[in-house]
Amino acid sequence: MSAKLHIPTAPCRPGDEPDFSAITLPAAGELARPDEMVAADTTRELSFSMIRVLDEQHQAVGPWSPALTPAALRDGLRHILLTRLYDDRMLRMQRQGKMSFYLKCTGEEAVSVAQCMALEDGDMLFPTYRQQALLVTRGYPLMDMMCQCLSNAGDRLQGRQMPVMYSSDVHKFFSISGNLGTQFSQAVGWAMAAEYRKTGDIAAAWVGEGTSAEADFHYALTFSAVYRAPVILNVVNNQWAISTSQNIAGGEQNPFAARAIGYGIPGLRVDGNDFLAVFAATRWAANRARAGGGPTLIELYTYRAAAHSTSDDPARYRPSDEWERWPLGDPITRLKQHLIARGEWSEAQHEQLQAELAETVQHAWQKAISLGTLNEGPRPPDAAMFEHVYKDLPPHLLEQRRQLEAMT
Amino acid sequence: MSAVLNIEDGSVAQPAATPARRPETRTMSMIQALNSALDVMLERDPNVLIFGEDVGYFGGVFRCTEGLQQKYGADRVFDTPIAEGGIVATAIGMGVNGLRPVVEIQFADYIYPAFDQIASELSRLRYRSAGQFWSPVTIRTPCGGGIRGGQTHSQTPEALFAHVSGLKTVMPSNPYDAKGLLISAIEDDDPVVFFEPKRLYNGPFDGDPEQPVRSWDQHHKGQVPQGHYRVPLGQAATVRAGNDVSVLAYGTMVHVALAAAQQAGVDAEVIDVRTLMPLDVDTICNSVCRTGRCVIVHEATRHCGYGAELSAQVQERCFWNLEAPIERVTGWDTPYPHAQEWAYFPGQARVAQALRRALEG
Ligand SMILES: Cc1ncc(C[n+]2csc(CCOP(=O)(O)OP(=O)(O)O)c2C)c(N)n1
């Protein structure tokens, strides 16, 4: 018998019929909701199966169904819709050359919105580049987001970062790094400090499933388990890491959530396109963290509907219609249908909201663009690049700034 | 301004910024001085936390944190998993949330797993967030050879860190400076990588392994105030005034350079650089412009070593005063060997040779 090196393959590639047959979905409402303080090793089923609340008839069912008012659900829908429209607009503007880069979160908006709504304002968010909906949910002005993407005179980050690498201390939204995964372990330190300072705040951090292979993932799970840090560690499994399927990141047989148990951390695997399930799971983890139960690992099962970013063409590595066949659907449709089924929403209201939000985006864009783009109009002064390297400008940077200014 | 030591009569002229010796001064090894700095800062600032591998219960493999857990509690001084990247990442997050973490990387040779967190995150957080977020982490790490540590317990990777914008890089050469610089590092709102030459922990070392080990008792810089004081970052110290040649060194090599100058009978001005970033260019270049000759000494490898930066700075500012090519004496461009340690180590003979060459040039 000769052993053969196993190289996992993607479920399907361009030209293939989309195939999600490997995904087994439990019915909504099927899984029990244990007390928040249960031992980590009792969460085996929650980490291998999938927490789902919305059923085929768009009803919220089972013990995980959260007590959310229709008004709160409508808020959630509004944030998701706004994020989608914002993304669409920004992508078009990138195509028109207004900015160097853009990156959408289409199809996975419910993750950030529901998770953010399940947290308190004082809780610190350690996002990836695909959690722009956290900022939208926390009410960060769209115009400020746009100005960051445009690196224009209104950019609060003074043109330091590529588009979408937002930061807002006021909104407790941590500065996004381009280095994947580094924030995961930093969030644990933040949470340990919150515990030490007895502020009662918790931290939440996100990585993509591809990034879960980085050492920082392991650091975060180890340190948070050892010191019982009040942190929620989230893996957004959107199936793809650029062109690489989740199978390569380590998920061919074992769900990412299931990794938690070996560390002594509960693992929850959640239907990431089910707004109510995401909210419920996150609230469970937040309750546990606040009660001294330490970290929870949540895998949010979803699908990256758009390209990885404006730098790639997904038609070269996956079937173009995969998204339409995604068994967990579109988070917008599912939340909308649920509200309609409850008699709390209608197609007409939905269309009206969409038009209103499109107007909001348009309005913010006009204001943002009036402050310039990377290539036209006002932008941060070149000399600003020397600030914030250190708290105070040291002599050698002062000298270099002088040299730059002498050139212009 | 720099502290001037007259090596002939052992007297020290301290700059005004450093308080004069006070009655509560006592003899300390570098280990005790570092421990005292940590003790002082834990006492003064409840936001100071100390952690790393074996630093809690045991007090560190070099005993720098001895007794601190007992004194301040396990929630302020604690052991960590063996994950250097995790240690620094955790410290970064704590710093963002208002604390002032001081972490120990057990050996500088093991700092590389944390390099990403230091070079990509810690150093650039203030910059990339335009001042919204920053983290005042101090990373202490023992470095350098001369302890039969082979290629994995002997490195001095200071150049890798001095190269990274946003970091401050420090390497003391004696207990007095070690304590004052460490306090400055901890109080600094920028991240600091603090290298501790482990061959100096228990006594000054002039590069001659045949000599019996000396303790810090007999060295005037082994007299350390027990309370709080600072040695400011960004100030070099002229440890021996001289007229013939300027020797730029830091860490262990300061002592080697002093001994080599004596051996060669050269009236060298020896400058202890102390902080590599920010660099005290004025003290260095004023000296070289006066002597017209410059020898740079460090233990790390030569190619792209910190000496290359010093050499470039001197050349830019002192070119018209130079009487001879700038000399560099460094470790060879090989990994740090075990059996050949003393052939690798840039000892007195090599420094003395370079001094003579510089004087002949
Ligand atoms: C440390 C590091 N390695 C590689 C990259 C390049 N890179 C950027 S995004 C990406 C894929 C990330 O995939 P995943 O973690 O699944 O997140 P997703 O983009 O799907 O949200 C890669 C490889 C990077 N930015 N940082």
Q: In A, which residues are within 8 Å of B122 by CB distance?
A: none
Instruction: Tell me whether residues A167 and B117 touch, CB distance under 8 A.
Output: no
Residues A125 and A177 placed together within one structural domain of the fold: yes
Q: What does the pLDDT read at residue B356? A: 97
Q: Which atom of ligand 1 is least distant from the CA of A236?
A: 21
Residues A200 and A312 placed together within one structural domain of the fold: yes
DSSP conformation class of A347: H
Torsion of CA A239, A139, A53, A68, to 10 degrees: 170
- Do residues A173 and A127 lie in contact, with contact meaning Cβ atoms separated by under 8 Å? yes
- Do residues B35 and B178 lie in contact, with contact meaning Cβ atoms separated by under 8 Å? no
The larger pLDDT score, comparing residue B311 to residue A2, is at: B311
State mean pLDDT over B87-108.
98
For chain A (408 residues), the mean pLDDT of every run of 10, in chain order, is 86 94 94 98 98 98 98 98 98 96 98 98 98 98 98 96 98 97 98 98 98 98 98 98 94 91 98 98 98 98 97 95 96 98 98 98 98 90 96 96 93
Tell me the three-class secondary structure of chain B, residue by residue: CCCEECCCCCCEECCCCCCCCCCCEEECCHHHHHHHHHHHHHHHCCCEEEEECCCCCCCCCCCCCCCHHHHHCCCCEEECCCCHHHHHHHHHHHHHCCCEEEEECCCHHHCHHHHHHHHHHHCCHHHHCCCCCCCCCEEEEEECCCCCCHHHCCCCCHHHHHCCCCCEEECCCCHHHHHHHHHHHHHCCCCEEEEEEHHHCCCCCCCCCCCCCCCHHHCHHHEEECCCCCCCCCCCEEEECCCCEEEEECCHHHHHHHHHHHHHCCCEEEEECCEEECCCHHHHHHHHHHHCCEEEEEEEECCCCHHHHHHHHHHHHHHHHCCCCCEEEEECCCCCCCCCHHHHCCCHHHHHHHHHHHHHC
- Do residues B71 and B39 lie in contact, with contact meaning Cβ atoms separated by under 8 Å? yes
- Do residues B173 and B252 lie in contact, with contact meaning Cβ atoms separated by under 8 Å? yes
- Give the gap in angstroms from C-alpha A259 to the nearest C-alpha of chain B: 18
Ligand 1 is surrounded, with C-beta below 6 A, by: A 130, 178-180, 207-211, 238, 240-242, 304, 308
Q: What does the pLDDT read at residue A253? A: 79
CA B344 from chain center: how many Å? 20
Residue ranges of the domains in chain B?
Answer: 27-225, 237-360
Q: What does the pLDDT read at residue B22? A: 55
pLDDT at B9 > cutoff 70: no
The predicted-structure confidence for B230-248, as pLDDT tens digits, reads as follows 999 999 999 999 999 999 9
**Which of A128, A177, A183, A211 has most ligand 1 atoms within 8 Å of its beta carbon, as the pocket-test mutant?**
A211
Residues A199 and A95 placed together within one structural domain of the fold: yes
Residues A272 and A398 placed together within one structural domain of the fold: no
- Do residues A176 and A166 lie in contact, with contact meaning Cβ atoms separated by under 8 Å? yes
Give A211 Cα–ligand 1 centroid separation in angstroms.
Answer: 6
Please check whether residue A175 lies inside any domain of the structure. Answer: yes
pLDDT at B194 > cutoff 60: yes
**Could you name the CATH architecture of B27-225?**
3-Layer(aba) Sandwich (3.40)
**Plot region of A120 (φ>0 → left; ψ -120 to 50 → alpha; else → beta):** beta
SS3 content of chain A, % helix, strand, coil (to 5): 45, 10, 45
Distance, CA of A85 to CA of A99 (rounded, Å): 17
State mean pLDDT over B302-312.
98
pLDDT at B217 > cutoff 80: yes
- Give the gap in angstroms from C-alpha B227 to the nearest C-alpha of chain A: 26
Provide DSSP, A228-278.
Answer: T--EEEEEEE-SEETTEEHIIIIISSS-GGGHHHHHT--EEEEETT-HHHH
Identify the contact set of chain B against chain A, taking CB-CB distances under 8 A: 49, 75, 80-81, 83, 85-86, 89-99, 101, 113, 116-117, 120-121, 125-134, 165-166, 168, 189-190, 234, 278-279, 281
Q: What does the pLDDT read at residue A375? A: 87
pLDDT at B300 > cutoff 60: yes
Beta A267-271 vs A240-241: how paired, if at all?
unpaired
Residues A139 and A287 placed together within one structural domain of the fold: yes
Amino acid residing at A206: W
Of A179, A189, A388, the CB nearest to B91: A189
Of A182, A203, A388, the CB nearest to B130: A388
pLDDT band at B19 (very low <50, low <70, confident <90, very high): low
The whole-chain average pLDDT of chain B stands at 94
Give A216 Cα–ligand 1 centroid separation in angstroms.
Answer: 13
Question: 3-state class of A15 per DSSP?
Answer: coil
Question: Domain range spanning residue A406?
Answer: 382-408
Q: In B, which residues are within 8 Å of A218 by CB distance?
A: 83, 86
Q: Which of A144, A148, A170, A219 to mutate to test the interface with B (most CBs of B within 10 A)?
A: A219
Give B264 Cα–ligand 1 centroid separation in angstroms.
Answer: 58
Please check whether residue A138 lies inside any domain of the structure. Answer: yes
- With tokens 């047989």, the residue in question is A253
Please check whether residue A370 lies inside any domain of the structure. Answer: yes
Please check whether residue A29 lies inside any domain of the structure. Answer: no
Backbone angles phi, psi at B304, to 5 degrees: 60, 20
Residues A335 and A400 placed together within one structural domain of the fold: no
Q: Say how many domains are in chain A.
A: 2
Angle separating helix axes A347-369 and A142-150, nearest 10 degrees: 50
Instruction: Tell me whether residues B128 and A160 touch, CB distance under 8 A.
Output: yes
Please check whether residue A245 lies inside any domain of the structure. Answer: yes
Q: Which residues of A51-82 are buried (b: 16+ CB within 10 A; e: fewer)?
A: bbbbbeebbbbbebbbebeeeebbebbbbbbb
Q: What is the CA radius of gyration of chain B?
A: 19
The larger pLDDT score, comparing residue A378 to residue B255, is at: B255
Q: Which atom of ligand 1 is least distant from the CA of A240?
A: 20
Residues A58 and A78 placed together within one structural domain of the fold: yes
Q: Is A373 an 8 Å CB contact of chain B?
A: no
Please check whether residue A1 lies inside any domain of the structure. Answer: no
Q: In A, which residues are within 8 Å of B234 by CB distance?
A: 394
Q: Do domains B27-225 and B237-360 have the same CATH topology?
A: yes
- Do residues A299 and A78 lie in contact, with contact meaning Cβ atoms separated by under 8 Å? no
Q: Which atom of ligand 1 is least distant from the CA of A207?
A: 15
- Give the gap in angstroms from C-alpha A210 to the nearest C-alpha of chain B: 18
Distance, CA of A131 to CA of A109 (rounded, Å): 8
Residues A351 and A400 placed together within one structural domain of the fold: no
Q: Which residue of A has its CA nearest to B113?
A: A215
Please check whether residue A21 lies inside any domain of the structure. Answer: no
Distance, CA of A131 to CA of A133 (rounded, Å): 5
pLDDT band at B361 (very low <50, low <70, confident <90, very high): confident
Q: What does the pLDDT read at residue B261? A: 98
Q: What does the pLDDT read at residue B292? A: 98
Instruction: Tell me whether residues A219 and B85 touch, CB distance under 8 A.
Output: yes
Which pTM value belongs to this model?
A: 0.95
Instruction: Tell me whether residues A189 and B281 touch, CB distance under 8 A.
Output: no
Residues A248 and A152 placed together within one structural domain of the fold: yes
Q: Is B175 exposed, middle or buried (0-12, 13-18, 19+ CB in 10 A)?
A: buried
Instruction: Tell me whether residues B128 and A158 touch, CB distance under 8 A.
Output: no
- With tokens 């999600």, the residue in question is A20
State mean pLDDT over B244-259.
98
- Do residues B203 and B31 lie in contact, with contact meaning Cβ atoms separated by under 8 Å? no
Q: In A, which residues are within 8 Å of B91 by CB distance?
A: 189
Q: Is A198 an 8 Å CB contact of chain B?
A: no
Residues A240 and A389 placed together within one structural domain of the fold: no
Of A189, A389, A390, the CB nearest to B92: A189
Joined together, the tokens standing for residue A3 give 């052993």
Provide DSSP, A103-164.
Answer: ---TT-HHHHHHHHHTS-TTSEEE--TT-HHHHHHTT--HHHHHHHHHT-TT-TTTT-S-TT
Joined together, the tokens standing for residue A310 give 């404006």
Query: What residues pair up with B29 in beta bridges, in sequence order?
Result: none
List the 107-146 stretch of A: residues with Cβ below 8 A of B: 124, 126
Query: What are the angstrom distances between the C-alpha of A336 and each of A272, A344, B354?
Result: 15, 9, 79
- Give the gap in angstroms from C-alpha A299 to the nearest C-alpha of chain B: 21
In sequence order, the 6+-apart residues with CB closer than 8 A to the CB of B74 are B56
Joined together, the tokens standing for residue A289 give 């963290």
Task: Return the closest-CA partner of residue A72 out of A344, A400, A359.
Answer: A344
CATH number of the domain at B237-360, out of 3.20.20.70, 3.40.50.920, 3.40.50.2300, 3.40.50.1370? 3.40.50.920
Joined together, the tokens standing for residue A78 give 């509004």
Percent of chain B with pLDDT over 70: 94
Q: Which residue of B has its CA nearest to A215?
A: B85
Residues A250 and A394 placed together within one structural domain of the fold: no
CATH number of the domain that A246 lies in? Answer: 3.40.50.970
Question: Catalytic residue at B220?
Answer: no
Residues A258 and A394 placed together within one structural domain of the fold: no
Instruction: Tell me whether residues A167 and B128 touch, CB distance under 8 A.
Output: yes
